[in-house]
Amino acid sequence: MKNSSFAVSEILNKSFQFIFANLSSRLKDGFLLVVLITLCFNALNALMANALATNFTILLFVFFSMLLMSSIGISVHKEILSNYKQSFFSEFLSLKNIKYFINIFLITLVAIFPLLIHFLFKISNKMEILGLNISYLFILWILTCILSLKFIFILPKIALDYDYNYSFSELNTVGSKLFIIFFIITIFFFIPSIIILSLQIALLNSNSQIYVYVKPIFDLISFYISYLNYLVVFAAISYAYKKTKS
């Protein structure tokens, strides 16, 4: 793959402009999706509170949420790379969306592999690997994140129906820059998420009766923040892919 150099600030600027240049439209586009996920989340909480939720129910909700996220990704890629805007639900149950979801899962699995190893050793009360403390897995996690991002351009290829393969030919040379970009985006949306969480905890501690009624509103805001986060992340992938292909 041909890779042109790009500045981190350039991709970040374009990605945030993607939502903030027409924020009202972005909020309107995601309204039904966010309301739907909020209703499902609160229904799941109600089932769990009454001990009616099973592991299958929880997994079904996670799978449903991931499919929605994948359909957002496909729509964003098409809008930026093909100048074609479509509903987030257009590809929801399509084979393309399933394929997109599977690839997100595989890429994520590569990224978090050291964290999984850390978790397994932690629950086994083993604090060392080959004589090294398991805390050093954090360094390996950064490296696996960068490695996984080197395969991230498979996602826009799926959205655009381009050919791709699982080989070194798919590796890009901008994985480290993408890691920095994703880190900055995560921090940007992490701050309002923490503020909303803090407000929920404060209200729960001060007046739990009122909290029961306003919790869905807090959930709606939280999911809206996550939705905008996804938009910026997928926009960053799209703009980075577009830049490397130019």
User: DSSP labels for 112-150?
Assistant: HHHHHHHHHHHHTT--EETTEEGGGHHHHHHHHHHHHHT
- More confident call, 235 vs 117: 235
The pLDDT score that the predictor gives to residue 78 is: 97
Please tell me the distance from the alpha carbon of residue 115 to that of residue 121, in angstroms, as a whole number: 10
Tell me which of 40-44, 49-53, 143-147, 203-207 is least confident: 49-53
- Averaged confidence pLDDT in the chain: 89
Q: Please tell me whether residue 173 adopts helix, strand or coil conformation.
A: coil
Please tell me the distance from the alpha carbon of residue 104 to that of residue 155, in angstroms, as a whole number: 8
The pLDDT score that the predictor gives to residue 165 is: 86
Mean pLDDT, residues 109-136: 77
Angle of the 208-245 helix axis to the 31-49 helix axis, nearest 10: 130
Asked if pLDDT for residue 3 goes beyond 50, the answer is no
Residue with tokens 């500045």: 7
Asked if pLDDT for residue 49 goes beyond 90, the answer is no
The pLDDT score that the predictor gives to residue 67 is: 94
Please tell me the distance from the alpha carbon of residue 77 to that of residue 241, in angstroms, as a whole number: 10
88 pLDDT band, cuts 50/70/90, is very high
CB 224 within 8 A of CB 192: no
6 pLDDT band, cuts 50/70/90, is confident
The pLDDT score that the predictor gives to residue 121 is: 74
Tell me which of 3-7, 26-30, 42-46 is least confident: 3-7
Mean pLDDT, residues 202-221: 89
CA distances for 190 relative to 7, 74, 193, 195, 246, angstroms: 23, 24, 5, 9, 32
Asked if pLDDT for residue 48 goes beyond 90, the answer is no
The pLDDT score that the predictor gives to residue 131 is: 61
129 pLDDT band, cuts 50/70/90, is low
